[in-house]
Structure 1
Amino acid sequence: MTNCTVEHSIHQILFPAVYIGVFIIGLPINLLSLYHSYLQIKKKNELGIYLCNLTISDLLYLLSLPLWIQYMLQHDDWQYSRELCIFSGLLLYQNIYISIGFLCFIAINRYLVVAYPLKFKFIHSRKAALLISILSWLKEIAICTIYMGSKVLSKDEGNDTLCFEHYPLRLKDKYLNIYKLSIGFGLPLILLIYSYYKLLRVVLKVRGVQEEQKLRIKKLVSGTIIIFLVCFAPYHIFLMVRTIFEYDCSFADSVFEVYHIGLLLMSFNCVADPILYCFVSPSSQGWLARFLDPVIKLLPCRTNEVIVTPAAPIKSTVMNKTELTQ
């Protein structure tokens, strides 16, 4: 089936610039995030395993961006092989649902640690985190195999080769979108909001937690939900609209730009995750300051400044259990 020809000038104007910026910023901070998660794993902290998987997913997505940039600069005409199209597409889509999954697992883990510190001990263990991580990747790999035998390359009316783009949506794509919207996005969103809501209720009721520490938890929880809603919600809203209403070329062309703006917003997740979960963490500020100290000393305006490692937070049994980023 020949695709509709849609107006995709937004791909040549906005997307390459944003993707280049995300790649330049995202690659180094995710490498630092990978180091931070390694330190957490070394401390036998199960949260480090989730952060490590989240970071690996972001790095894989970042590696696909140069191919997508070239594709868009070529006016949405895929110049490479079918296999490379599949590879690039899977790196893009696995990042969406792997990231959503691990954001959800982190929220559930933090809630259970705080609310039921003596129960669900296996869930709090590194073995459980490793098992959940393996199952999550296997699930996404299984879903990705659906694409392996499908027609990922197609021609539009202008004879350009499209990669993972079909206008209007095929019936098989609509069935897959139902899974994405319900299991991939809707269920994790409900679990994440519920877990963090219960976490905040528990933390705010417990005595012995300083207001500054409570405020930090509020910010981290709010930041996570904002990232989830800003980066992932728009894409899935427009995906739902396409799944329900898209049957002809006219509608496909009318929603093309807003749908792809939603897709573009998801790329910011690769930058937002490490900033929120790693670099605002009290445990990361010491090593991050030491890591950046030689670089900052080279700056003319900073030569006389000294980086002061933040003082260790006041110890609290509750905070040891409730600190989101350890």
Structure 2
Amino acid sequence: MENSSEDLMDNTLNCTINHDIHQTVSPVVYILVFIIGLPANCLSLYYAYLQVKAKNELGIYLCNLTIADLLYVFSLPFWIQYVLQHDNWTYDELLCKICGILLYENIYISVAFLCCISIDRYLAVVYPFHFHQFRTMKAATVVSIVIWAKEILTCWLVFTHGEVSKDSESHVVCFEHYPIKNWEHNINFYRFAAGFFFPFLLLIFSYYGILRVVRKSHGTQKKKKVQIKRLVSSTMVIFIVCFGPYHVLLLTRSLFETSCDFAGRIFNVYHISLLLTTFNCVADPILYCFSSENTYQDFAKIRNTCSKRLKCRKTETETKESYPMSTPETVKKLRGQADVDSEFLSKVQVAHEMQE
């Protein structure tokens, strides 16, 4: 450890709290999210790349959302080891801060880009012929840079305090203070207001406008309406379930937690709500990849690409020799020749009619 024992003792936690939930529920959730979230977000990143390649500004937001999820997924092995060792951090304080930053970055960057996606969809559906300047690749890139810069600056200001301390069992605790410190109150109020409540209002406003327009639209296909409604409903459910309980309990702690007794009573419920935020890493790829009308086409491209690469060169050579007329070049030539013949016959017919 880089910190001296004196520094650790200054941050000693006097509360004796039962941490059994960290050895039972937390490892299961972290391992499950890691196993599912890593491949799902890698696939989501490729899907976002396809969107960016197609010059769709939505792909920029999807890409940033997935990167935030992946960064947090990569930190999960450290949290798994931490909870399995009975909340004893065996690494230095810098790595504790990095893992803590990735945890909170994932929450608030995900919230920010969920809002960006909702506003982008709102402008596309409600005002399809206006605000084009806000729905461009350049605008999406600028917004993404601003979001990352804001969150990194906020974390730098927040995590200037010591984040490791010793509990009553002399375990080095990472990122946990019971009861919460005085300097945490204002920060938690800011996180609740700016990081959850205001984005929640934006989501309600944008998606209410989207649903209102979709219901009144007679030209939109029924399948498209169902898809839009499913995207809207799923986003709201994920936002409320993954981030709602945690921020409500965060506000509750900031308002009422002044003793170890209260911290002990709310400990299990608070950490279950924190685990719910982790499921955001699994929910985001499912929501924005599998709710798109182009997803199945994209997956078909991935499947075909993988199939072609798995085939041996011998099989490909035999296929080309056996079916030379089915190659794209041959078909293109035949179509070109047919177009020329058709044009020539049309000219002959016109000349013949003029002579008559």
Fold match by TM threshold 0.5: yes
Match of 1:46 among 41, 48, 57: 57
Query: Contact between 2:108 and 2:195, CA under 8 Å: does it hold in 1?
Result: yes
| Separation in structure 2 between the aligned mates of residue 265 and residue 256 of structure 1, nearest angstrom | 14
Say which SS state the counterpart of residue 226 (structure 1) adopts. Answer: helix
Q: Which amino acid aligns with 2:296?
A: Q
Q: Does 2:151 align with 1:145? A: no
Q: Which amino acid aligns with 2:109?
A: I
Q: Does 2:171 align with 1:160? A: yes
**1:96 matched residue in structure 2:** 107
Match of 2:25 among 7, 10, 14: 14
1:241 shift after superposition: 0.9
1:119 shift after superposition: 2.2
1:118 shift after superposition: 2.7
**1:230 matched residue in structure 2:** 241
Query: Contact between 1:30 and 1:58, CA under 8 Å: does it hold in 2?
Result: yes
Q: Does 2:90 align with 1:79? A: yes
Say which SS state the counterpart of residue 171 (structure 1) adopts. Answer: coil
**2:12 matched residue in structure 1:** 2
Deviations 1:217-238 (A, max 9, x none): 1111000000001111011111
Query: Contact between 1:155 and 1:161, CA under 8 Å: does it hold in 2?
Result: yes
**1:29 matched residue in structure 2:** 40
Query: Contact between 2:165 and 2:174, CA under 8 Å: does it hold in 1?
Result: yes
**1:324 matched residue in structure 2:** none
Q: Going by fraction, where is helix more abundant, 1 or 2?
A: 2
Q: Which amino acid aligns with 1:52?
A: C
Q: Which amino acid aligns with 2:99?
A: S
Identity %: 55
| Separation in structure 2 between the aligned mates of residue 99 and residue 49 of structure 1, nearest angstrom | 13
Unmatched runs of 5 consecutive residues or more in structure 2: 1-10, 308-356
Q: Which amino acid aligns with 1:172?
A: W
State the TM-score, normalizing by the size of structure 2.
0.81
| Separation in structure 2 between the aligned mates of residue 250 and residue 195 of structure 1, nearest angstrom | 42
Residues 250-269 of structure 1 aligned to structure 2 (within 5 Å): 250-269=261-280
Number of residue-to-residue matches in the alignment = 296
**1:121 matched residue in structure 2:** 132
Say which SS state the counterpart of residue 132 (structure 2) adopts. Answer: coil
1:239/1:148 Cα in 2 relative to 1: closer, same or farther (>3 Å)?
closer
Q: Does 2:203 align with 1:196? A: no
Q: Which amino acid aligns with 2:214?
A: V
Match of 1:185 among 181, 184, 196: 196
Say which SS state the counterpart of residue 165 (structure 1) adopts. Answer: coil
Deviations 1:202-255 (A, max 9, x none): 122122112221111111100000000111101111111111100010000100
| Separation in structure 2 between the aligned mates of residue 201 and residue 53 of structure 1, nearest angstrom | 29
**1:208 matched residue in structure 2:** 219
Say which SS state the counterpart of residue 282 (structure 1) adopts. Answer: coil
Match of 1:281 among 292, 301, 325: 292
| Separation in structure 2 between the aligned mates of residue 226 and residue 291 of structure 1, nearest angstrom | 30
| Separation in structure 2 between the aligned mates of residue 132 and residue 179 of structure 1, nearest angstrom | 21
**1:244 matched residue in structure 2:** 255
Q: Which amino acid aligns with 1:76?
A: D
| Separation in structure 1 between the aligned mates of residue 141 and residue 84 of structure 2, nearest angstrom | 40
Give the alignment's Cα RMSD to 1 decimal.
1.4
Match of 2:186 among 154, 163, 175: 175
| Separation in structure 1 between the aligned mates of residue 139 and residue 194 of structure 2, nearest angstrom | 21
1:276 shift after superposition: 1.0
Query: Contact between 1:86 and 1:147, CA under 8 Å: does it hold in 2?
Result: no
Query: Contact between 2:179 and 2:260, CA under 8 Å: does it hold in 1?
Result: yes
**2:120 matched residue in structure 1:** 109
Deviations 1:44-78 (A, max 9, x none): 10000000000000000100100000000010011
| Separation in structure 2 between the aligned mates of residue 216 and residue 280 of structure 1, nearest angstrom | 7
Unmatched runs of 5 consecutive residues or more in structure 1: 296-326
| Separation in structure 1 between the aligned mates of residue 87 and residue 94 of structure 2, nearest angstrom | 17
* Moved segments of 4+, more than 6 Å: none
1:280 shift after superposition: 2.5
**2:323 matched residue in structure 1:** none
Match of 1:132 among 134, 143, 153: 143
| Separation in structure 2 between the aligned mates of residue 49 and residue 84 of structure 1, nearest angstrom | 29
| Separation in structure 1 between the aligned mates of residue 180 and residue 282 of structure 2, nearest angstrom | 30
| Separation in structure 2 between the aligned mates of residue 290 and residue 49 of structure 1, nearest angstrom | 21
Say which SS state the counterpart of residue 162 (structure 1) adopts. Answer: strand
State the TM-score, normalizing by the size of structure 1.
0.88
